[in-house]
Amino acid sequence: MEKNIKAAIIDLYDGETNQGIRCIKDILFDNGLKYDLFDMRGKGENPTTDYDIYISSGGPGSPWDGEGKKWEEDYFKLMDALWANNQNPANRKKYVFFICHSFQIMVRYFSLGEVVRRNSKSFGIMPIHKTKSGKLEILFKNLSDPFYAADFREWQVIQPNLQKIDLLGAKIIALEKVRPHVDLERAIMAIRVSDEFFGTQFHPEADPESMLYHFMKPERKEHVVSKYGEERYNEMLNLCESDEGIKSTRKNVLPGFLKEAIKQLNKESI
């Protein structure tokens, strides 16, 4: 175990039954990290700034749902403190990974783009394309292009605020699948905000067990088949088990973030 490194899971599922938190817990355990779990959205549980690594989860509903609510006010105050901490070179850095719902809230927090409702819900295992910056991204170096990831979205990030992105030194590193037959802007799927802050619209924590859990539900199968067809549904099932499917994404993205954070934190401790 990494005895001197503390991790916090920020649960934004609002009490909804999910597989995401289990997957995050598994990855933290596999990387030798103990963690505390905070149900911020559902129970108002707030982590302190004493942790080194924060994993902020996905969740249901609108990313604007928290406006005016105490839990979101507390969430933004926490981000204020963590970001401010990292601006001082003398401080021990704080690492934050934002997933799906948290990614959308993070984009709102930094004003990095427009967060809007999609024309139709995205559900399944989808191709994710690296941008030019994404091809240089250390967390993506072992992934194919495109790579595949679990993608559950009723909302999306579009219209990047390039001025703010440049000001922060942030990088857009992934976009959604190419859709030549759809005359709509491709959504942003991942952003590296800084060396310590990283977010993905997709679910890098998803494992075959969690995806099969979703795909075996009759209403979920019906949704995928009606939207994409039986052949695409079967392809998604294969991508659950394929080494080039979500297994590769799960193995590389979030574990890569943790390994890099642990390496840098251990350097700071010397």
Lowest mean pLDDT among 91-105, 170-184, 227-241: 227-241
User: Which residues, including other chains, have CB under 8 Å from residue 200's CB and lie 6 or more apart?
Assistant: 97, 98, 99, 100, 103, 149, 174, 189, 190, 253
pLDDT at 3: 66
pLDDT at 220: 73
- The per-residue pLDDT for range 44-69, each reduced to its tens digit, is 999 999 999 999 999 999 999 999 99
pLDDT at 262: 97
From the list 22, 253, 3, 8, the residue with the least C-alpha distance to 140 is 253
pLDDT at 225: 80
Tokens of 118: 């999609």
Tokens of 156: 């999306």
Residue 270: pLDDT band (50, 70, 90) is low
Q: What percent of the chain has pLDDT over 90?
A: 76
| Residue 1 vs residue 138, higher pLDDT | 138
Tokens of 95: 């690492």
Contact 78, 49 (CB under 8 A): yes
The predicted model gives 222-234 an average pLDDT of 78
In this predicted structure, the answer to whether residue 251 has a pLDDT above a threshold of 80 is yes
CATH number assigned to the domain covering 7-117+130-139+155-205+250-269: 3.40.50.880
- The per-residue pLDDT for range 206-223, each reduced to its tens digit, is 998 888 877 777 877 787
In this predicted structure, the answer to whether residue 179 has a pLDDT above a threshold of 80 is no
The predicted model gives 58-87 an average pLDDT of 97
pLDDT at 181: 65
- The per-residue pLDDT for range 31-47, each reduced to its tens digit, is 999 999 999 999 999 99
Q: What percent of the chain has pLDDT over 70?
A: 96
Is residue 130 within a helix (H) or strand (E), and if so which, with residue range? strand 114-130
Tokens of 40: 């911020």
- The per-residue pLDDT for range 182-207, each reduced to its tens digit, is 667 899 999 999 999 999 999 999 99
pTM here is 0.93
- Strand order of the sheet with strand 171-175? 35-39, 7-11, 53-56, 95-99, 197-200, 188-192, 171-175, 114-130, 147-158
The predicted model gives 259-268 an average pLDDT of 93
Contact 246, 124 (CB under 8 A): no
Domain residue spans of the chain: 7-117+130-139+155-205+250-269
Which of 16-20, 91-95, 124-128, 179-183 is modeled with the greatest confidence? 91-95
On the CB side of 16, how many CA atoms lie within 13 Å of its CA? Answer: 13
Instruction: Tell which phi-psi region holds residue 15, choosing left (phi > 0), alpha (psi between -120 and 50) or beta.
Output: left
